[in-house]
């Protein structure tokens, strides 16, 4: 088989592995079982829509990672991971979605055969891809092992991005900017929501400036009229109406790296509450961005944002942002640091966040957000869409 197509140089994968091993040592973990597909991709390069079946990467202290998955997906591993053939292991298809067999039983047998079944094994208990049944099958096959929850161990290693990762996110920023530009071109009263989304997908997949668009970890989220009170609804075929707002929360994606961006549009003359909220959000975000510098904390950013909007009589009970980067469905957050009270994560150059400044109320809402990179001096926006309420006359 021809050589795999890698998105990063092998030394970068090796550096990621070494950082993960150091974290494992600090946690007293001998073997790490990584089931989150974003963590799998970050560590090995593996990229495929196979996360609907059980798969994982095994990380030891003394050898390259092992990719473990469904037999038919092994060729996908050969096409995308940096490890050699000996580190690719698979299970037969009779294990797939069976009431009699479970892939974690095959994984346990592999670990026993390797003589690695008596140590402390880290598992990602709290992710979408590792089920209760998976843990039962794995632990039954490894009765002498001690299990430790390491859900966020790899996620925290991912939080500072390399130069190449930033390049991919900058490309995603160009794409999401183009997506919002296209929305402004087609958004009019009488246009169906589903038709606007078709344009979003077309632009997002075609890409811009020579950068192709990958599929997003979450679909476009839309709030029109009273539906803008809910941040995570999707589209229908309802026609847009004059005199109502509509927000779009989207992500441009390039090589699995995401740049989310939200903008709110108003069809006609905006109500005063939208004008006031736009001003509050804008000033709040500026205050937060001023604090988004190395040495400050995530909480510092949140306090600055909350402090401003509260002066306008507005409250945001949810967090004001979260770490972003490499992602797979069903969401584009990294599940590590957040802009919220109590998060004392120190900001460092190379971190990237979605500054999620959205506000939602009883029958309306407004989303004007930015994806940012922490630099040595000041926060840098990864997209370049106008940061304002966009009025469509």
State the span(s) of the chain assigned CATH 3.90.230.10: 163-392
Confidence of residue 289 (pLDDT cuts 50, 70, 90): very high
Element (H, E) at 73: none
pLDDT tier for residue 4 given thresholds of 50, 70 and 90: confident
The Cα–Cα gap between 130 and 103 comes to: 11
More confident residue, 135 or 393: 135
For the chain, give every residue range classified as CATH 3.40.350.10.
10-157
What class, spelled out in words, does domain 163-392 have in CATH?
Answer: alpha beta
202: tokens are 């077309």
Nearest to 33 by CA among 133, 92, 116, 98: 116
Under CATH, what is the fold of the domain 10-157? Creatine Amidinohydrolase; Chain A, domain 1 (3.40.350)
- What SS3 state is found at 109? helix
Which band of pLDDT confidence, cut at 50, 70 and 90, is reported for residue 393?
confident
168 Cβ contact list (under 8 Å, min separation 6): 7, 254, 255, 256, 257
Q: List phi, psi (to 5°) of 28.
A: 70, 35
- Per-residue pLDDT, 26: 98
Q: Give the residue from 215, 364, 370, 191 showing the smallest Cα distance to 182.
A: 191
Q: Between residues 2 and 305, which one has the greater pLDDT?
A: 305
User: 94-119: per-residue pLDDT in tens?
Assistant: 999 999 999 999 999 999 999 999 99
Q: Is the pLDDT of residue 1 over 70?
A: no
User: To the nearest whole number, what is the mean pLDDT of the chain?
Assistant: 97
């Amino acid at each position: 088989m021809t050589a795999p197509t890698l998105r990063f140089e092998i030394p970068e994968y090796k550096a990621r592995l070494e950082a993960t091993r150091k974290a494992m040592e600090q946690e007293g973990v001998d073997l790490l079982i990584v089931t989150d597909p974003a963590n799998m991709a970050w560590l090995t390069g593996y990229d495929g829509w196979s996360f609907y079946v059980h798969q994982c990467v095994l990380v030891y202290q003394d050898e390259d990672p092992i990719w473990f998955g469904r037999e038919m997906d092994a060729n996908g591993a050969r096409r995308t991971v940096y490890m050699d053939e000996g580190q690719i292991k698979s299970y037969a298809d009779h294990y797939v979605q069976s009431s009699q067999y479970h892939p974690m039983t095959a994984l346990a047998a592999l670990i026993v055969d390797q003589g690695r079944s008596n140590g402390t094994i880290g598992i990602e208990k709290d992710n979408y891809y590792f089920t209760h049944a998976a843990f039962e099958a794995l632990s039954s096959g490894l009765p002498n092992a001690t299990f430790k929850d390491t859900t966020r161990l790899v996620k925290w290693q991912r939080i500072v991005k390399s130069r190449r990762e930033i390049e991919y996110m900058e490309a995603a920023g160009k794409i999401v900017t183009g997506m919002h530009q296209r929305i402004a071109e087609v958004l009019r009263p009488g246009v169906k929501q589903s038709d606007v989304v078709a344009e979003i997908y077309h632009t997002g997949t075609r890409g811009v400036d020579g950068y192709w668009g990958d599929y997003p970890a979450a679909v476009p989220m839309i709030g029109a009229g009273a539906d803008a009170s809910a941040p995570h609804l999707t589209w229908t075929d309802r026609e847009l109406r004059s005199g109502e707002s509509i927000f779009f929360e989207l992500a441009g994606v390039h090589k699995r790296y995401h740049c989310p961006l939200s903008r709110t549009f108003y069809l006609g003359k905006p109500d005063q509450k939208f004008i006031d909220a736009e001003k509050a959000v804008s000033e709040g975000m500026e205050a937060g961005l001023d604090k988004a510098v190395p040495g400050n904390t995530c909480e510092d950013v949140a306090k600055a944002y909350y402090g401003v909007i509260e002066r306008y009589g507005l409250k945001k009970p949810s967090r004001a942002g979260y770490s972003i980067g490499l992602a797979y469905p069903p969401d584009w957050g990294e599940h590590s640091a957040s802009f919220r009270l109590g998060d004392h994560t120190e900001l460092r150059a190379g971190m990237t966040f979605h500054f999620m400044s959205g506000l939602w109320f009883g029958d309306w809402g407004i989303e004007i957000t930015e994806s940012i990179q922490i630099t040595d001096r000041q926060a840098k926006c990864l997209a370049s869409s106008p940061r304002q309420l966009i009025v469509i006359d």
